[in-house]
Structure 1
Amino acid sequence: MILLVEDDQRSALALQRGLEQEGFQVDVAFDGETGLHLGLEKTYDILLLDVMLPGLDGFTFLAELRAKGLETPVIFLTARDALPDRLRGLGLGGGDYLVKPFAFSELVLRIRNLLQRQGAAPERGWTIADLSLDPTRRKVYRGGQRLDLTAQEYALLELLARNAGHTVTRMRIAETLWDLAYDGDPNLVDAAVRRLRRKVDDPFTEKLIHTHRSVGYRMEARHE
């Protein structure tokens, strides 16, 4: 369970939607005082905390949380990238510090890494036909053969595998691979999928990545 405290409502709701599609449960607060109330009332696995919040800034939020004896892991999300700010956040007990703007895939990776360091149970992998993904070790096999994927290719494949049987829109793919505010050429997404297909599908008879015309892409085994 994640608590996201972010005063930019558009960004907060986009992050919530994306994280829920990644399999996380997410509560959202738009100011520090509401977030602190939730953080003290409920048990969370991790906090995503903006620094510049109305009412109660992120550093004060974390200091009060720690004063209450709560050791919930924290990732700061902030545009303040000066070294003193980063040191202050980490010194207060923040587990990580991510500077805006950031790629959504990087945030997901940092969440999983932090949870793993806290001893959370490792994620189960995914299997689609003869393709298997191990998210803990970030390894991919097809037909018993290890596939050598770049970080971006792996992020795209995991997104499709998590949503196997359902179409993932081009916008959702762009949000994962680049930026939540992405509003660029859809050909960029199509090119990323082509690169992935060359490794995951082209060497094999059965194709697993399918195009949903004008919408996006879907991963599934189709036994025709």
Structure 2
Amino acid sequence: MNTILVVDDDAHIRKLIRLYLENSNYGVIEAEDGGEALGLLGKEKIDLAIVDVMMPHIDGYELTEDIRSFLDIPILMVTAKGESQDKVKGFRAGTDDYLVKPFDPVELILRVEALLKRYNIRSETTVKVTNTIIDKEKLVVQSGDKSVTLKRKECELLAVLASSPGKIFTRNQLIEKIWGYDYEGDERTVDVHIKRIREQLEEFQDITITTVRGLGYRLEESHV
């Protein structure tokens, strides 16, 4: 059973979310503010966090940044703030998805399921293609005596491509897998990350990221 941490200073909202989560066979732990949430995250096994933005002491943005500094779990922001700039701020803080109050509890459950599925797909620590090993936990890519450290999104993006060598991923597919389907940014975000990955892997001869004009990207194995 997956355990969900619900962080909201409104007891009625926590009760509503708990009811629907428990009816969907999830375990639920509640926290009424960011400080209490961090304490629970340090001692409980949490599989996903649902975080409100407007809270005393530590708001949802700050809490999300704190969680990201030591845990790689899915985070769903639930908030009354629905403006585009608020969503962008949430995604920049590190949230995976964003739901605006008042929300449909059924949609909340669907988003929780989608996030857990996405993280479970990424749950294996390493991906290996030919002689290259991508360590998603350490953010290290290694091939023989060559080794580079990537940023988290770069490593996740490379791991997705490497999970299906030869498969073409569109920019939209990559954005949905790495940033979430509610991401408000530009598709060129993917291009920028791909450019950085290519620069870092310049000396790696057994894998290549190819641009498929008009479609997206694919990772190809180079048997050298």
Superposition pairs for residues 15-164 of structure 1, below 5 Å?
44-47=1-4, 57-62=13-18, 71=27, 73=46, 75-78=48-51, 80-83=53-56, 98-99=76-77, 101=87, 102-103=90-91, 107=96, 123-164=124-165
Does the 8 A contact of 1:167 with 1:217 survive in 2? Answer: yes
In structure 2, what is the Cα distance between the partners aligned to 1:96 and 1:171? 19
In structure 2, what is the Cα distance between the partners aligned to 1:222 and 1:184? 33
SS at match of 1:127: strand
Give the root-mean-square deviation of aligned CA atoms. 4.4
Alpha-carbon shift at residue 155 of structure 1 (Å): 2.1
Superposition pairs for residues 192-207 of structure 1, below 5 Å?
192-200=193-201, 202-207=202-207
In structure 2, what is the Cα distance between the partners aligned to 1:96 and 1:157? 19
Normalising by the residue count of structure 2, what TM-score does the alignment of the two structures yield? 0.51
Aligned to 1:39: none
Normalising by the residue count of structure 1, what TM-score does the alignment of the two structures yield? 0.51
Does the 8 A contact of 1:169 with 1:215 survive in 2? Answer: yes
The Cα offsets for residues 109-154 of structure 1, whole Å up to 9 and x where unpaired, read as xx89xx99xxxxx725211122102234333212332212122221
The Cα offsets for residues 33-85 of structure 1, whole Å up to 9 and x where unpaired, read as xxxxxxxxxxx32448797xxxx94434427978xx97454634355432389
Aligned to 1:20: none
Percent of residue pairs bearing the same amino acid type: 22
In structure 2, what is the Cα distance between the partners aligned to 1:46 and 1:164? 33
In structure 1, what is the Cα distance between the partners aligned to 2:95 and 2:131? 28
For these two proteins, the number of residue pairs brought into alignment is: 159
Q: Answer yes or no: is 1:168 the counterpart of 2:172.
A: no
In structure 2, what is the Cα distance between the partners aligned to 1:184 and 1:84? 29
Aligned to 1:6: none
The Cα offsets for residues 9-38 of structure 1, whole Å up to 9 and x where unpaired, read as xxxxxxxxxxxxxxxxxxxxxxxxxxxxxx
SS at match of 1:83: coil
Does the 8 A contact of 1:49 with 1:74 survive in 2? Answer: no
In structure 2, what is the Cα distance between the partners aligned to 1:77 and 1:188? 26
Structure 2 unaligned regions, length at least 5: 29-45, 61-72, 79-86, 98-114
Does the 8 A contact of 1:126 with 1:162 survive in 2? Answer: yes
SS at match of 1:194: helix
In structure 2, what is the Cα distance between the partners aligned to 1:96 and 1:127? 24
C-alpha distance 191-136 of structure 1, shift in aligned 2 (>3 A): closer
Alpha-carbon shift at residue 170 of structure 1 (Å): 0.6
Structure 1 unaligned regions, length at least 5: 1-43, 88-94, 117-121
In structure 1, what is the Cα distance between the partners aligned to 2:184 and 2:57? 33
SS at match of 1:209: strand
In structure 2, what is the Cα distance between the partners aligned to 1:172 and 1:198? 22
In structure 1, what is the Cα distance between the partners aligned to 2:155 and 2:188? 19
Aligned to 2:218: 218
